[in-house]
Amino acid sequence: MGMTMSQKILAAHAGLDQVKAGQLIEADLDLVLGNDITSPVAIHEMDKMNQKSVFDKDKIALVMDHFIPNKDIKSAENCKCCRDFACKHEITNYFDVGQMGIEHALLPEKGLVVAGDLVIGADSHTCTYGALGAFSTGVGSTDMAAGMVTGKAWFKVPSAIKFELVGEPAKWVSGKDVILHIIGMIGVDGALYKSMEFTGEGVKNLTMDDRFTICNMAIEAGGKNGIFPVDELAVQYMKEHSIRPFKTYEADPDALYDETYVIDLSKLKPTVSFPHLPSNTRTIDQVGEVKIDQAVIGSCTNGRIDDMRIAAQVLKGRKVAKNVRCIVIPATQAIYLQAMREGLLEIFIEAGAVVSTPTCGPCLGGYMGILAAGERCISTTNRNFVGRMGHVDSEIYLASPAVAAASAVAGRIVCPCELDEN
């Protein structure tokens, strides 16, 4: 029986000719990732081990992004722990204030992940890098500690679901709408510990930023990882951002999949996840009258330059509605600079939005946009669980940058096309 794309990467890193779903393997890692919340736990676990040095100072990335700049004493202490560790072990890829960005946008931008890599990260959205044809997945801080010491990790080889993409998305339909549609279709545990492998002729109609968004939210369907084939667009992206060699893998024609879904991109509509699960989706024409208090445009899911451009396209010449707070967060310093050079930041500010330094901030209810009881937020982030962005009696609606920006103007959840009509 043939292997899936993900299984081939795992087999290669385990030094095996063949692996099958359910098999336990030990595999060599190309990169171990942590942030300012998860890394201190891993560092303290590593302190308990006999081996006190890291396996490779060039293959560890520590990104200060969740509470940066520090919001309180605890977050400052966490960052100091990471900073001291990075200094002690001479960690090459340590990113602090001034250089940092939201980790899952920053690492591909810095060329630290390429096709064929095996990456673990102590953050559930590490699955983002599958957009480049890498196998990347989130782990706990203890596994991160072991990975930093040994350069290896244990895996149970996942089975896979194939998503065959066909057609071309309509205007205002983006990668966010694709993944929200899929999660709504299969549920938050529909791909539990499975590879979500995206293929088909429709892939060519998705930008790299679309693909990063789709893989980023694979975990919201329970997926072990999400992964795209390595086409010319992916190769071009890697050549622009990295000098590392990469290796492409393709699924065998007889690879076994638990299920296969055909997704016609041309039939998708802008989609919104209602509280309190990403799977509670409705298309924009089914939303009804939902007034909002806040809009957040950013995060590891939708803080890239395409997202900034789309939001600016909607906000240009318009004003954020009275009593609505609109917060825009470019995902990295480079994206922030590019948005500034293109005049996007001016558009946001003139519209009545605020622009933040790169941070995860409001996504996890950290800071920069906490919700009070009874407040509603439309957000381009990835989770809308109870209390995710603040008070347990607040509500989060997940959507694309286009819908979030349009909703900020209208004061209620709408499609950008509705603004065009008025």
Cα angle vertex 296, ends 295, 299, to 5°?
165
Nearest to 148 by CA among 219, 90, 61, 65: 61
**Do 226 and 375 reside in the same domain of the chain?**
no
Question: Quick one: DSSP state of residue 350?
Answer: H
Nearest to 282 by CA among 386, 188, 177: 177
Range of the domain at 385: 273-421
Question: Quick one: DSSP state of residue 124?
Answer: G
**Do 278 and 155 reside in the same domain of the chain?**
no
**Do 372 and 247 reside in the same domain of the chain?**
no
Average pLDDT of span 292-316: 97
Please tell me the predicted confidence (pLDDT) of residue 52.
80
How many CB atoms neighbour CB 263 within 10 A? Answer: 18
The domain boundary residue, chosen from 211, 243, 264: 264
Please tell me the predicted confidence (pLDDT) of residue 421.
67
* Helix, strand, coil shares, percent, the chain, to 5: 40, 20, 40
**Do 255 and 281 reside in the same domain of the chain?**
no
The domain boundary residue, chosen from 264, 288, 314: 264
Quickly state the pLDDT bin for 419 (edges 50, 70, 90).
confident
Q: Which residues contact 288 (CB under 8 A, 6 or more apart)?
A: none
Please tell me the predicted confidence (pLDDT) of residue 47.
87
Residue-wise pLDDT tens digits, 99-145: 989 999 999 999 999 999 999 999 999 999 999 999 999 999 999 99
Residue-wise pLDDT tens digits, 340-380: 999 999 999 999 999 999 999 999 999 999 999 999 999 99
**Do 44 and 172 reside in the same domain of the chain?**
yes
The Cα–Cα gap between 314 and 317 comes to: 8
Number of domains in the chain: 2
Residue 119 sits in a domain whose CATH number is: 3.30.499.10
Quickly state the pLDDT bin for 422 (edges 50, 70, 90).
low
**Do 278 and 256 reside in the same domain of the chain?**
no
Average pLDDT of span 77-84: 96
Helix (H, G, I), strand (E, B) or coil at 137: strand
Q: Which residues contact 52 (CB under 8 A, 6 or more apart)?
A: 46
The domain boundary residue, chosen from 218, 238, 264: 264
Task: State the pairing for strand pair 281-283/271-273.
Answer: antiparallel
If 0-12 CB within 10 Å is exposed, 13-18 middle and 19+ buried, where does residue 1 land? exposed
pLDDT at 260 over 80: yes
Average pLDDT of span 206-222: 97
Average pLDDT of span 294-314: 97
Residue with tokens 């990104």: 63
The Cα–Cα gap between 327 and 41 comes to: 30
